[in-house]
Amino acid sequence: MSDKKGTVLFYPYIPKKSLKILENRLSTRWIGQGPMVDKFEKKFSQIFLNGKECVSTGSGTDALHLAYILAGIKKNDEVIAPVFTCTATNIPLLYIGAKIKFVDVDPNTMNICINDLRKKISKKTKAIVCVHYGGIPCDMSEIKKIAKKYNVKVIEDAAQALGGKYKNQNIGTISDFTIFSFQAIKHITTGDGGMLCIKDPKLIEKAKRIRWFGIDRRKKQLGIWKNDIKEVGFKYQLTDLGASIGYQSLIDFKKIISHRLKIYNIYLKNLSQNPNITCIHDFDKNKNCAAWLFTILLKRKDFLQKKLRQKNIETNQVHFRNDKYSIFKKFVKNQKFKNMDKIENRYLVLPIHTKVSEKDAKYICDLINKFI
């Protein structure tokens, strides 16, 4: 790989047949939410959810907002959520007016710190939100145990964990609610899109209604005139255009995940030997990582990022601790996040996507090991 060509941090996976698929779709009457969305949901449920029904959305953020509403979270309810995550995890809690209780990061996995979760949960807690950072599954047995003790709902933000497993169970089949994202640079994309997986089948119809203004779309499409809206809904649907690309990506999913894992394992093998670098990884055999990000911790992060940039290799921070954003300040008065403080200036995300070849990944490792 020449230095000139370089490697970008993210690149969308676009199936080869996309142009043809879109051409076909554009020549039908359905481009918004139509039969292709149904087909996409069905395929997704067959691959990841043992056939259980799921509800696609216009984004992972939409799916989170719906999950929080369906979990019964209301204004002023206290919700446990990770301090280190994409802001999309926490912002929909602000839509509702919930009170966020931030939990520190586990510096080994960048997931929620279970010890801090135990300290922060209380009788006032309504729900626990956890995020599988970079595709590394959280300790779901522990989280479930704690949730059971306090009788609270668990919402998994699995935006980054498509194809991940915990104790041989697919992520998406474990908790009360799980969401995925199909935003441009995720494992699969629908342009923008998301999926909401719900344990209680009784909530599916409500999820579908509040995805679409609160209207029962199916009944309406049957030409029924009697009509009412009893709950406020949103306009959070996926489109047939996006679902067409997503459907083909689901067919390609095995190939996508196996490539990402190959790149992930090259980084892990070649960088974990370096005494100046810590690889973010979980060796727990109960966890199958979905390899969305590969993150390293090191003291000379800025130096390495600059050196790699000179070789046209992009690296970045991706997420920033949420407690430092002004919109969340009211939730963090006098609170300390010791682990977050320690790693705040040390993490760096390396490129993983289907355009990174094994040769590219080895070359990036050689450069890192030369510089650090």
Using CB under 6 A as the criterion, which residues of the chain lie in contact with ligand PLP when the complex forms? Answer: 59-61, 85-86, 88-89, 131, 157, 159-160, 181, 183, 192, 194
Strand extents, DSSP E, the chain: 54-57, 78-82, 99-103, 125-131, 153-157, 165-166, 169-170, 177-181, 194-198, 278-279, 287-288, 294-297, 347-350
Which residue number, 132 or 304, has a Cβ lying nearer to ligand PLP?
132
Cβ 83 to ligand PLP, closest distance in Å? 13
Distances (CA, A) of 82 to 104, 114, 320, 340, 344: 7, 11, 11, 11, 14
Q: Least distance in Å: CB of 292 to ligand PLP?
A: 8
Pairing of strands 194-198, 54-57: antiparallel
Q: How far is CA 130 from CA 86, 127, 160, 233, in A?
A: 12, 10, 12, 25
Query: Smallest gap, in angstroms, from Cβ of residue 2 to ligand PLP?
Result: 31
**Cβ closest to ligand PLP, residue 86 vs residue 280:** 86
Shortest Cβ 250–ligand PLP spacing (Å):
16
- Give the shortest CB-192-to-ligand PLP separation in angstroms: 6
CB of 182 to ligand PLP, least distance (A): 7
**Closer Cβ to ligand PLP, 63 or 266, answer by number:** 63
Residue 294: how many other CB atoms lie within 10 Å: 27
Q: How many CB atoms lie within 10 A of CB 222?
A: 8
Residues in contact with 274: Cβ distance below 8 Å, sequence separation at least 6, in sequence order: 368, 369, 372
| Element spanning 44, H or E | helix 35-48
Q: Which two tokens stand for residue 206?
A: 């409500």
Least distance (Å) between residue 159 CB and ligand PLP: 3
| Nearer CB in complex with ligand PLP: 84/365 | 84
Query: The tokens 């586990």 sit on which residue?
Result: 106
Shortest CB 61 distance to ligand PLP, Å: 3
* Whether the Cβ atoms of residue 32 and residue 43 lie closer than 8 Å to each other: no
Of 114 and 318, which has the nearer Cβ to ligand PLP?
318
User: Is the Cβ of residue 250 or residue 365 nearer to ligand PLP in the bound state?
Assistant: 250
Q: Which is nearer to ligand PLP, 239 or 270 (CB)?
A: 239
d(CA 281, CA 157): 18
As measured in angstroms, the least distance from the Cβ of 105 to ligand PLP is: 13
Indicate the SS3 state at residue 265.
Answer: helix
Nearest residue to ligand PLP by CB is: 60
Kind plus residue range of the DSSP H or E element containing 364: helix 358-371
Closer residue to ligand PLP, CB minimum distance, 25 or 187: 187
Cα separation of 371 and 283, whole Å?
26
Sign of the four-CA dihedral 322, 323, 324, 330: positive
Residue 262's identity, in one-letter code, is K
